[in-house]
Homo-oligomer: A and B are copies of this chain.
């Protein structure tokens, strides 16, 4: 989660909502990404999506059933859907997101009967630092 938090700081410095994500395989980092929709002109460029896509590219396959995803914020519906499509084994996330999250809020996607793969989910990891980073980012934007 340290690497994901570092990526979130990078996102903030680029003026993006500070979220970072890492895909690991056997405890080793395969791909790291920072949230970047504005920078990349890509509405799908959340940190999780970029990390999953990069890991799949590196591993040369579209299923990552032996991989874990670490992300600093509760994934949204788009990212939860991508996690299921990629067959991610374990999802570790930091801060919960009552406004846009889709794991413990809103659609609760992994609990839906139309969800074809449910990762093991561990939340609250690095929650304090991730939440503070997000709060600082939005506070600065408002002033």
Contacts and interface: CB of A to CB of B under 8 A. Distances in A.
Given A42-B53, A43-B64, A78-B78, 15 more contacts: A40-B62, A41-B62, A43-B62, A44-B44, A44-B85, A77-B81, A78-B80, A78-B85, A99-B114, A100-B116, A102-B107, A102-B114, A106-B112, A106-B114, A107-B109
A49 interface: yes
Nearest first, the 8 A-B pairs at minimum CB distance are A78-B81, A106-B114, A107-B107, A77-B81, A43-B86, A43-B85, A106-B112, A37-B62
Contacts of A57: 41-42
11 contacts: A41-B57, A41-B59, A41-B60, A42-B56, A43-B53, A76-B85, A77-B102, A77-B112, A101-B114, A106-B112, A106-B114
A26 interface: no
How often does this chain occur in the complex, in copies? Answer: 2
Give the dominant DSSP class at A's interface.
Answer: loop
